[in-house]
Amino acid sequence: MFDTAFHATLPAAAATYALDADLATRFDIRRYGAHGTSYRYVSRRAAALLGRPVEDLNMIVLHLGNGASACAVAGGRSVETSMGLTPLEGLVMGTRGGDLDPSIAFHLAREAGLTVAEIEDSYTHRSGLTGLCGDNDMRVVQRRAAAGDQAAVLALDVYCHRIRKYVGAYHAVLGRLDAIVFTAGVGEHSAVVRARSLTGLDAFGIALDPDRNAAGDATRIVSPDHARVSVCVVPTDEEHAIAREIADLLLA
């Protein structure tokens, strides 16, 4: 099962780039997404945690690791995701910057004299948290920010601002939001990132309980009781998900 398969359900409006249609068709340019195996597993685990069928839930799943993406999941189906043709689009990551003005590449070619290969290398290996502060480990970035390192402070601000922006956008896409789910290395372990990414969203029924948020790394609900939107932490297990899918295919 390809890691993009979960996103095969994207509606055309979400999967299609506003490019020359003939060019896009000839070269298969569209939004493919990634982390699909994780999203399939985590969305079902979150539904079990909430005691509701996944088919009844609208959720935003945030897969935050060295690679990071967001997915709007409606009734167990992907309807929007942040990574696109490649894993470069979307959220800020360890070494990838996520969303950029496409003209930055043209500017770098004309003004800095960079080749296509050099621009691609910069976008892939020397952007994101690394580009902003020189570290791609969120634990190090947080420690530096807490000590007053301004480059790390900015890196953390940019990282969390981008997540918050996607949460708002995907809430609009879904219409009704039942849950936000954090997963993968940063999503599971960083109470700071979870709190800062959801700051200021109380008007949407999105809030964290500080004690629950800080209480370890286990699968749990970290929003207050009776919150309109449940906020969950659900560790991903992509190997288990792949094994289950293989078993289902063999038994079919």
- Report the catalytic residues: 3
Question: Which has the closest alpha carbon to 92: 15, 20, 193?
Answer: 193
Contacts of 174 (CB under 8 A, 6+ apart): 58, 60, 72, 74, 79
DSSP 224: P
Bridge partners of 62, per DSSP, are 70, 182
Angstrom CA distances, 172 to 40, 72, 167, 205, 227, stand at: 21, 10, 9, 13, 19
The residue among 15, 44, 13 whose CA lies nearest residue 248 is: 44
Identify any residues that bridge with 159 across adjacent strands, giving them in sequence order: none
Neighbours of 88 (CB within 10 A): 18
The CA distance from 213 to 207, in Å, is 10
CB 78 within 8 A of CB 39: yes
The phi, psi pair for 119, rounded to 5°, reads -65, -45
Q: What are φ and ψ of residue 30, in 5° steps? A: -165, 175
Q: What is the DSSP letter of 175?
A: S
Residue type at position 194: R
